Structure 1
Amino acid sequence: MDKLDIKLWTLAAKGQIVPDRSLLKTPQQIEAIKKSAALNTAVLDHVAAHIRAGMSTAEIDKLVYDFTTAHGGIPAPLNYEGFPKSVCTSINNVICHGIPDENEFLEEGDIINVDVSTILDGYFSDASRMFTIGNISPEADKLVRVTKECVELGLKEAKPWGHLGDIAYAINTHARANGYSVVEDIGGHGIGLAFHEDPFVSYVTPKGSEMVLVPGMMFTIEPMINEGSPDFFIDEDNGWTVYTIDDGLSAQVEYMVLITEDGAEVLTK
């Protein structure tokens, strides 16, 4: 066993949850994944340059598909477990997995999460941004702002040999301090060699709990913050779209991060 194996074995013997070595990306894999992540960021920048009131979410989907494929990539959501589009577009009371629709139009005052995931040369990346359409309400503005703050606070706790629970605690504490709730049953995930890998990343677990953060781990920080109840329901017709149970607003920001020897590197956001 090398030094890392010994350290992981020692931590496991003390009851800590440690990642399998297969979850730790090699330098060669990291470089390839970074190229996918760079394209993913470029796609989100492309959306940011064109999103506006009056456009349909189907137009956003076309922007994503056309830009991604023109640059040699594949939109990861397209046909993933039956998902019919290239991007998730989640407006106002939609928590996640909104399906673009030619009859759904962005209106003044809307908030929308655009969740972009990219495959490039077989490597995966994933990030999402909140966009505000025109003048939004003070309530919506605060929710979006606090959600971004939650992700940044979680990122500060993404330290080698810390725990996933450290990230969760920072996020949940800040959300609750602002009167919001964090969705419990949907979280982040490992990524890089597949769209969704271990570990599941919760945002409601205690500090010092969950998996140890080891250099080479790669995962998303993507809390879903609700202005009301954290509970939700899934659209029975399409089987994908997740709505707040009380029709309250929801916001989400997603970073994809790599744990390094001295902190965390954001790969795409």
Structure 2
Amino acid sequence: MTEELTAERTRAADWFRGLRDEIVAAFEGLEDAQAEGPLSDREPGRFDVTETRRATPDGSDAGGGLMSVMRGGRVFEKVGVNVSTVYGELGPEAQAAMAARKGLPGMQEDPRFWASGISLVAHMQNPHCPAVHMNTRMFWTPHGWWFGGGADLNPCIEYDEDTAHFHRVLEDHCDPHGAGQYDRLKAWADEYFYIPHRGRARGVGGIFLDDHCSGDWEADFAFIRDIGRAFLPAYLPLVEKRRRSPWSDADKEVQLVHRGLYAEYNLVYDRGTKFGLATGHDANAVLMSLPPMAKWI
């Protein structure tokens, strides 16, 4: 597969940017809606937006994106919604890793790549509101293209009905793309978002896929769009339900300890963190996912 997919890449990048704009507006709307209840005496939070660039040894243009971070809001303690479109040539280590993992011949002869996506992590003020992660992305090389991404819920105080709602919406958005897709992606998430050194998952799961290429770009793009579209209806109702709940010091302690699991996973195992740092993308944007405060016991 040697198609350049120039128009398709542009469509994918535009879609990720549009999804980013929709989510940012919805999250700022939650901040405005918290006019009573915990922390309602604060000004509603707003995103600080910073342009990011991918660093290269020779200083050549290699793309970048937008890092949008809100800190210290009424509802969100820290939330980042990043989009990026980066390109250039993979270094020798990344070439070897990709060739080995994906079975792509020719990476050393032509190591060009292009990648675009959206990445979101929200850490909440209220311990009863679950943290959440979502990302979708497209990756292209002259030797093949693929999509990846997913979403997973990370409550520190679990509510079975919240978990059920989150998974039900994800399943509804997966079902149009084939029988068994949700079950396959759920099982993949259970395996991927697992912390071996703790012997447990980092949350209550979700869906995950990588290296997704059926050979039909339009069908695969439709699938990744529906994964992105699932996020707000899966997550916003949970925040609406829990954001005014009172919490105790003990609840906050549980939240901070649980965040330690999240930090451990993202720094040790997460592929996106490793890829972003290895390819020279803005370190602050790559590490945006880390919580503002955490504890270890």
Q: TM-score, normalised by structure 2?
A: 0.26
Bigger radius of gyration: 2
Q: TM-score, normalised by structure 1?
A: 0.28
Greater fraction helix: 2
